[in-house]
Amino acid sequence: MPSFAAHRADLAQLADQHRIRQLLPRRGSDFASNDYLALASAPRLRDAVAAALASGVPVGSGGSRLLRGNSEEHEALEAEAAAFFGSEASLFFASGFAANAALFATLPQRGDLIVYDALVHASAHEGMRLGRADCVAAEHNQVDAFEAAIRQWRKGGGTGTPWIAVESLYSMDGDRAPLAALADLADACDAILLVDEAHATGVFGTAGRGLAEDLEGRGNVVTLRTCGKALGCEGALICGPRIVRDFLINRGRGFIFSTAPSPLMARAVRESLQILAHEPERRERLQGLVRHAERALAPAGVHPTGSQILPLVIGDDSATMRAAEAVQAAGFDVRGIRPPTVPPGTSRLRVSLTLNVTTEDVARLAALLQEVVR
């Protein structure tokens, strides 16, 4: 049998279905990235990294955190992040995917139950696949569905800890989780609430502390805050009670056996937190851009979400990708999103608003979308 025959067959099937993925260069106005506050190329971050290099901070960590890879920059970031977000402790990972996968694979134990929102990120599913707890999906944003799943599990003899897993702001729909009601449910059911703040950190809350800022510091709340979106860097921070940090350091294979993130990136994230604290005008400008875009894009069929993520649901996969190609050819980087990333029948153009574009860019995109999507 030829080498990689099964892989070739799988790719051929994807190609027949017009679902083959490719890496594309950056082109056109940025309506696709998660660089919401335009910090990825901010002079303050470049200067902070340059100063760190000049002071002798190494580019690479040289090993895992438990060997020689632990740096003063990692420790400083984790202390500053915990203070900034209001958690007892935090732990830095190299990516949001790695952090989320480690969290779900490590914290819930055998005999526990994870009730997760049907639209949670693929990284959560990967962690659940690696973990030992039972898992069940709940209908998107329906608190009653979470409660019913926990009650049914208890009725069936479940005696462990329930874990409620949600995103505060969903990356493909731009809608928000009912966090206050979910926190009340967690209290009532002796559950632990896991909140992925990936798309809310930096954009919402006091000084960009996210949509879960009022829940941070509770003994039964753990948050994930990625650093590669609004913070403009890389990596992710898991924030919560100190026991969470200690347990991940001792039992989290994704942490124990991974080379530590670059100390330079830890330094960059520290600077991003300072920018959040001292440059509120970035969030204000983004909020103004969101309000403008909601009005401008409404005639094309975009419904307001109150967030920087504005989906234009087309439905049909092929029609969605044709529309994306037309928009990209006109100089706007808007990506088409298809199943399995979104549910079948909900293929869409995902319009992501960042400070890398202007109101004039939004107006031109709005006019084009009205022509392309009929």
**Do 351 and 324 touch, CB atoms closer than 8 A?**
no
Q: Give the mean pLDDT of 316-336.
A: 94
Which of the residues 34, 87, 90, 352 is marked catalytic? 34
Which of the residues 196, 213, 234, 294 is marked catalytic? 196
Two tokens, residue 134: 């039972």
Which residue matches tokens 């809608």? 175
Q: Give the mean pLDDT of 344-360.
A: 96
Q: What is the pLDDT of residues 77-107, one digit of tens each?
A: 999 999 999 999 999 999 999 999 999 999 9
Based on the residue annotation, tell me whether 316 is a catalytic residue of this protein.
no
Q: What is the pLDDT of residues 112-132, one digit of tens each?
A: 999 999 999 999 999 999 999
Q: Give the mean pLDDT of 236-247.
A: 98
Based on the residue annotation, tell me whether 220 is a catalytic residue of this protein.
no
Per-residue confidence (pLDDT) for residue 208, from 0 to 100: 97
| Whether residue 241 has pLDDT greater than 70 | yes
Between 1 and 15, the more confident residue is: 15
Based on the residue annotation, tell me whether 278 is a catalytic residue of this protein.
no
| Whether residue 216 has pLDDT greater than 90 | yes
Per-residue confidence (pLDDT) for residue 2, from 0 to 100: 79
Based on the residue annotation, tell me whether 307 is a catalytic residue of this protein.
no
Per-residue confidence (pLDDT) for residue 286, from 0 to 100: 98
In the beta sheet, which residues pair with residue 169? Answer: 176
In this structure, whether the domain defined by 22-39+280-373 belongs to CATH 3.90.1150.10 is answered with yes
Per-residue confidence (pLDDT) for residue 14, from 0 to 100: 92
Instruction: Give the domain 57-277 fold.
Output: Aspartate Aminotransferase; domain 2 (3.40.640)
Domain spans, the chain: 22-39+280-373, 57-277
Q: Which long-range contacts (CB under 8 A, 24 or more apart) does 276-279 make?
A: 276/84, 276/202, 276/207, 276/208, 276/209, 276/231, 277/84, 277/207
Which of the residues 71, 90, 168, 171 is marked catalytic? 171
Q: Please state, in angstroms and rounded to a whole number, the distance separating the CA atoms of residues 267 and 279.
A: 18
Residue 66 identity (one-letter amino acid): L
Which of the residues 35, 78, 167, 271 is marked catalytic? 167
Which of the residues 117, 147, 197, 229 is marked catalytic? 229
Two tokens, residue 141: 């944003």
Based on the residue annotation, tell me whether 167 is a catalytic residue of this protein.
yes
Which of the residues 71, 199, 258, 356 is marked catalytic? 199
What percent of the chain lies above the pLDDT cut of 90?
A: 95
Per-residue confidence (pLDDT) for residue 22, from 0 to 100: 87
Q: What is the pLDDT of residues 6-60, one digit of tens each?
A: 999 999 999 998 888 888 888 999 999 999 999 999 999 999 999 999 999 999 9
Which of the residues 121, 271, 347, 352 is marked catalytic? 121
Residues 6+ apart with CB under 8 A from 74: 61, 65, 92, 260, 261, 263, 266
Two tokens, residue 307: 């967030």
Using 50, 70 and 90 to split pLDDT, how confident is the model at 265? very high
Based on the residue annotation, tell me whether 74 is a catalytic residue of this protein.
no
Based on the residue annotation, tell me whether 3 is a catalytic residue of this protein.
no
Using 50, 70 and 90 to split pLDDT, how confident is the model at 1? low
Q: Give the mean pLDDT of 283-300.
A: 97
